[in-house]
Amino acid sequence: MITWHFSSATTDELFAQLQSSPKGLQIAVAAEREKSQAKLFKTEGRYKKEIKLLIRQFTNPLVLLLVIAVCLSVILGESSDSIIILIILLTTGLLGFWQELNASRAVEKLRGLTEMKHTVLRDNQPVQLSTRQIVPGDILLFDAGDIIPADCRIIECNDLHMNESTLTGESYPVEKSAATLNDSLPLSKKYNCLWQGTNVVSGSATAIAVQVGSETIFGQMSHSLIQTTETAFEKGIRHFGFFLLKATVMLSLTILLSNLYFQKPIFESILFSLALAVGMAPELLPAIMTFAMAAGTRRMLKKKVIVKKLSGIFNFGEVNVLCTDKTGTITEGVISVKDIVDITGKRNDRLRLFAFLNAFFQKGFTNPIDQAITSLNIPITGFEKINEIPYDFIRKRLSVAVNQGANCFFITKGAFKNVLEVCRYIEAPGGTKEPLTEKISHQLNADFITYSNSGYRVLGLSYKPMETDKMKRIDEQDMIFLGFILLEDPLKESTLSSFKKLEQLNIRVKIITGDNRFAAYQVSQKLGMKEPVILTGEEMNTLYPEALVVKARHTDIFAEIEPHQKELIIKALQKSHFTVAYIGDGINDAAAINAADVGISTNNAADIAREAADFVLMEKDLSVLADGVYEGRKSFINSMKYIFISTGATFGNMFSIAGASLFLPFLPMLPKQILLTNLVTDLPFLSVASDHVDDEELTKPQKWDLSLIRRFMVVFSLHSTFFDFLTFYILYHYFKLSNSSFQTGWFLESTITELLILFVVRTKKTVIKSKPGRLLLITSLIALGIIIYLPYSPVAALLGFSILNPLQIITITLILVAYIITADLLKRAFFNHNGNKKLR
């Protein structure tokens, strides 16, 4: 087996050792290697993952304690009640498992749609393969934007620059070349090797895969390199969980010790306290969140959006600023050549030929501009490519050397200013070479502004004769400026409506573009922006970080932006407490996509951009993003409904039971009845994830607010407790009920109030003015039917229930009516009072 030390071997030695060749592996040999290396990727099988998911449903400490207590009571002869409790627990756990299983399977299918592909030679034919299919000995072809799938040795390359920050922490691109180097050199000095997880910044390369999977350097270090950023919603859920757990444990322990002090049966007291703990814990929250997120991802997939990170759905709901590039998102992205003109503004066939040669022969990476120029289909018989200096985001130029017989020259095109700065001459009408004077330079800049204000994207074009067939970057000087390439990219028909849709969702759109300020301003006018604030990359460089935070907040368009500045803009907006989404598809967008709260790319984006994104668009359209925000907010709101239910009626009911147990000579509810309450209400609670959401709620960005939840918990727990104690008083003092009959009355009141509060808190409007989801309504009616039927069922005695008389039922019904009316009034007052407070 080859180790990491393969930099000193010659390529012929590597071919021999890996039984490969420059034509790549034979298909049959590759298939055999693929089978034998499956273990190197260390991924769990589907069966093992699903077993773990099932076990996870029962690993909650409170549930485990209850299971232990149940088992202990069975041993001591308390078998019937314990078995019932165990059945209820198993049913609840299996219900949660079923929901999460369906959601996780849906997510796995979505991930398959965004699997990374690489160009590999097999039997001398280029094929597209996934990372798992790459085997030692494979010949890989890389272009700018590609992610390296294995540790490789370079066979040949052209102006290759790599981003190795994932391994070395150095963000500046590293230049690579084909060579033989000493094995003792440190990783950062082995410039003849490519490492898994790094990516191509510019240039191209052919390399041989040497190590794959867990045998690569990245694979060995992955446990320390993999970092999962916790979303704001996930952090809020974690804090909420700790808060509720502490309250639950303290209350349960207090009740246990109190019951023991009053010399109540020890096992009954333990089961009662643990049942209370389980009743108060929002055990369905993970299942509901997962189901809500998975349902959102399925709806988004129908709208051609692939969700890579499930929890990103909630972040989408928080977005209030969208940063977008211009090309392909706001504009059609189908660039066409309007004209190619000389310095006098006249069409010039020679310039068209030079532009075509440059675009046709470049092999750095595929891009819309070169595709547009090559669509001109100009004959180039007799021309041959000599060399190339690929485009990069520092020079912003692309140079290609060609010859025609003995005549050798190279052609450079790129951003107008970057081309003009390496020119010393101009080509005057008639083909004569003249010095580039300050006056002429001023006129060229004026022409550039005029073309840009007309809505064109403008490139510069230059050339230079060559005395040899060698070309280096240093040769890009003293060139002859030829003229302008004028490109068109009209606005999409859907752009204006998309902007209005985003505006209705209270999302501010900021355009970040490398285009000049004049072209950017022209686009803003077409979008109907009134006096947009424009900040250029050059102006950004003069600002202190603190000043950029203030400036970015009020800027509408960032023009002439360098790649590294995009990330700075995103971070500046985040420091202003915005939740930022960024959409981009180029190599230079990867850092900004990764820095954004919601990173978005497209299916045809560069590998590194697609890998960094949380969402991948099958179609690059802003209206789709509005749909994504809609789904994110819907998932967020529906998950919050369950949290409000848990902290309102459920916690209040359990608190009431706990308090009553201290004053009544019998338990207000048996442990099995408490758990049965949980089980019956689980069915409608799970369907909350698919509930309808009021339109007015979807127009506002959603934010996690633990302080709001705490206030809601106090207010509605007190409200619930008031009606609970009212019920206790009437049942015990007025009707003189005890044991089974009291427990039956209390079970009916407490369980039905949990169902009713669901319909109250699911909307901020009056209950009757908001239509619930069909599934929620059906499951709630089923649960209500079960609750009413249980005291009359054949298992009533086993569950500790007895039949109430009509007067008792009417009294409980009146209490329930008063409960829902007052809860609805209290809810509206609560949210009206708290609605104007800024969510944090």
* 127-136, 301-310, 313-322, 532-541, range with the lowest pLDDT: 301-310
CA 724/CA 679 separation, integer angstroms: 20
Mean pLDDT estimate for the chain = 82
Q: Based on the domain organization, do 264 and 389 belong to the same domain?
A: no
Using DSSP, how many helices (H) and how many strands (E) does the chain show?
Answer: 31, 23
Q: Determine the Cα–Cα distance for residues 350 and 411; give it in Å rounded to an integer.
A: 12
pLDDT at 25: 93
Question: Of 325, 342, 515, 824, which one is the catalytic site residue?
Answer: 325
Residue 29 clears pLDDT 70, i.e. is over it = yes
Is pLDDT larger for residue 660 or for residue 89?
Answer: 660
Provide the 10 A C-beta neighbour count for residue 103. 22
CB burial of residue 530 (10 Å; 0-12, 13-18, 19+): exposed
Give the pLDDT band (50/70/90) at residue 836: very low
- Domains identified in the chain, total number: 4
d(CA 643, CA 638): 9
Roughly what angle, to the nearest 10 degrees, separates helices 285-302 and 79-113? 30
pLDDT band at 482; cut points 50, 70, 90: very high
Q: Is residue 378 part of a domain?
A: yes
Is residue 581 within 8 A of residue 317, CB to CB? The reply is: no
Burial 628-638 (b: 16+ CB within 10 A, else e): bbbbbbbbbbb
Give the rounded percent of residues in the chain with a pLDDT score beyond 70: 84
Query: Binning pLDDT at 50, 70 and 90, where does residue 314 land?
Result: confident
User: Are 548 and 484 part of one and the same domain?
Assistant: no
What is the mean pLDDT of the segment spanning 572-585?
90
pLDDT exceeds 90 at position 573: yes
In angstroms, what CA-CA distances link 43 with 47, 48, 101, 102, 103?
12, 10, 18, 20, 19
- Window from 98-107, 754-763, 785-794, 818-827 with minimum mean pLDDT: 98-107
Residue 839 placed within a domain:
no
The answer to the question of residue 675 being in a domain is yes
Residue with tokens 């928080």: 318
Which of 205, 225, 245 is the last residue in one of the domains?
A: 225
- Which of 794 and 430 is assigned the larger pLDDT? 794
Residue 4 lies in a domain: no
* Residue 463 counted as domain residue: yes
Give the count of beta carbons closer than 10 Å to the beta carbon of residue 143. Answer: 19
pLDDT in tens, 391-418: 877 788 999 999 998 889 999 999 999 9
Q: Are residues 724 and 578 in the same domain?
A: no
**CA 414 vs CA 196, 331, 411, 436, 499: distances in Å:** 31, 20, 10, 18, 31
Which residue, 618, 644, 660, sits at the end of a domain?
618
- Which 8-state DSSP code applies to residue 135? -
Lowest mean pLDDT among 271-285, 645-659, 780-794, 799-813: 271-285
777 and 693 both lie in a single domain? yes
- CATH number of the domain to which 350 belongs: 3.40.1110.10
| Domain assignment present for 557 | yes
Q: Which pLDDT score is estimated for 787?
A: 93
CA nearest neighbour of 428 among 409, 413, 443: 443
Distance CA 144, CA 201 (A): 5
Domain-located, residue 781: yes
* Parallel, antiparallel or unpaired: strands 174-176 and 580-583: unpaired
pLDDT tens digits for range 272-285: 777 766 666 665 66
**pLDDT for res 838:** 42
Q: Do 324 and 341 sit in the same domain of this protein?
A: no
CA distance 838 to 688: 26
Examine the domain organization and report whether 572 and 470 are in the same domain: no
Q: 489 an active-site residue?
A: no
Which domain covers residue 170, as residue numbers? 11-37+135-225
563 and 656 together in one domain: no
Q: Considering only 143-152, 223-232, 307-316, 828-837, which range has the smallest mean pLDDT?
A: 223-232
Burial 816-836 (b: 16+ CB within 10 A, else e): beebbeebbebbbebeeeeee
Q: Which of 173, 208, 225 is the C-terminal boundary of a domain? A: 225
Q: What is the mean pLDDT of residues 585-596?
A: 82
Whole-Å CA distances, 594 to 11, 147, 312, 572, 599 = 36, 15, 12, 14, 6
CA angle 687, 688, 691 (to 5 degrees): 100
CATH number of the domain where residue 23 is located: 2.70.150.10
Pick from 178-192, 243-257, 493-507, 528-542: least confident: 243-257
Looking at residues 71-93, what average pLDDT do you find?
Answer: 61
Residues 419, 483: one domain? yes
* 95 and 216 assigned to the same domain: no
Taking the C-alpha atoms of residue 194 and residue 4, their distance in angstroms, rounded to an integer, is 11
Q: Say yes or no to pLDDT of 839 above 50.
A: no
Work out the average pLDDT over 766-780: 90
pLDDT band, residue 172 (cuts 50/70/90) = low
With bands split at pLDDT 50, 70 and 90, how would you rate the model's confidence at 449? very high
Q: Residue 765 sits in a domain of what CATH number? A: 1.20.1110.10
Judge if 322 and 357 occupy the same domain: no
Is pLDDT of 81 > 70? Answer: no
Whether the CB-CB separation of 25 and 122 falls below 8 Å is answered with yes
Looking at the structure, tell me whether residues 221 and 239 fall in a common domain: no
Q: Which residue has the higher pLDDT, 789 or 303?
A: 789
Please check the confidence at residue 650 and state whether its pLDDT lies above 70.
no
* 227 — pLDDT class (breaks 50, 70, 90): very low
Mean local confidence (pLDDT), 599-628: 78
CATH number at residue 320: 3.40.50.1000
Checking if the pLDDT of 242 tops 60, the result is yes
Is residue 204 within 8 Å of residue 364, measured between CB atoms?
yes
Q: Please compute the mean of the pLDDT values over residues 176-191 and round it to a whole number.
A: 86
Please report whether residue 183 resides in a domain: yes
Instruction: Evaluate if residue 1 carries a pLDDT over 50.
Output: no
Instruction: Indicate whether 353 and 402 sit together in one domain.
Output: yes
Q: Residue 447's pLDDT is what?
A: 95
**pTM of the predicted protein model:** 0.69
CA of residue 527 relative to chain centroid, distance: 28
Q: What confidence score (pLDDT) does residue 223 get?
A: 43
